[in-house]
Structure 1
């Protein structure tokens, strides 16, 4: 096994430095997914971006992602019961930034169309999955969301990835390795 100069054993009583944890986890490229819905009380589009979206089960077909407990955007998306997860495409950095910002007008410069349930699907995404919220589990300072897949499709293109603190494509992630 190869080790680095910064490697150290973690004792039971030790707490790993948050920046060290972020640095190590940043070496794993993650997909960039817009989770969007219609807020029940206002009937307005709401959304956020997650980097933890993953398949959970094939039978039944379930997906999962985690979101900070402090996220007001997730509360708004969850209120509608159903949402769409759009896997952003390489080059959709601006969409990612728009949906990541604070405030209510995240969709002013985002191309989208409605799913059959009314949830925003992001134009130009490489895939989308329409979901129904099932449950949340405790995940420390995050909640782990589990949702049932209702319908899905793909489109041509390469996905947008987040790697070592930057947005880009697979080639960008490989070059930064």
Structure 2
């Protein structure tokens, strides 16, 4: 792909707002992940040069921590290369051993299920093994290279989201 096409693609991609999360086995650089549905694998695409990817691959498991609007500082800590990202960040090990950050909106635990070639990145697929909604609140969003948030609709609640997740898992296990 020509350099101008790469820049154009990045500009287009910047038009899509996304929730912000930290995906780590033991900490390094944040990578983007998509959590769509309990029956669909979680997909993320780390660069082949990532220091975190070899640890996720070796562990065979990871967690996606979905950040709240008040966690921009935590996001910035995990978004840089090097350093101890967990210093001063309370966390506990999930059922699969991956760190679950305290205070996040939700967490998704996954077993690494497959890896595909993605050029200078790999396409990693994870099977959801654990889900939890920890608190209600607006998510931290990233849009046009800036952080922001949206208010949570009044009709949404952690309880109804947890019920939806449990119902989806029950249907998939039937």
Partner of 1:53: 34
Q: Say what the alpha-carbon RMSD is for the aligned residues.
A: 2.1
* Distance apart, 1:140 and its partner CA: 2.5
Q: How does 1:43-122 map to 2 (within 5 A)?
A: 45-55=26-36, 58-59=38-39, 61-122=40-101
Regions of 4+ moved over 3 Å: 13-17
* In 2, Cα distance between equivalents of 1:63 and 1:147: 5
Residue-pair matches, total = 150
Give the TM-score normalised by structure 2: 0.76
> Are the aligned partners of 2:96 and 2:110 in contact in 1 as well (CA < 8 Å)?
no
* 1:16-56 superposed Cα distances (whole Å, 9 cap, x missing partner): 4332221111011012121121xxxxxxx32432334232x
* 1:137-176 superposed Cα distances (whole Å, 9 cap, x missing partner): 12232211101110101121111111000112136xxxxx
| 1:84 counterpart SS class | strand
Flag the structure with higher strand content: 1
Unpaired runs of 5+ in structure 1?
Answer: 1-12, 38-44, 172-177
Flag the structure with higher helix content: 2
> Are the aligned partners of 2:33 and 2:64 in contact in 1 as well (CA < 8 Å)?
no
The structure having more radius of gyration, on CA atoms, is: 1
1:125 aligns with 2:104: yes
Give the TM-score normalised by structure 1: 0.75
> Are the aligned partners of 1:31 and 1:52 in contact in 2 as well (CA < 8 Å)?
no
* 1:123–1:139 distance in 2 versus 1, CA, 3 Å: same
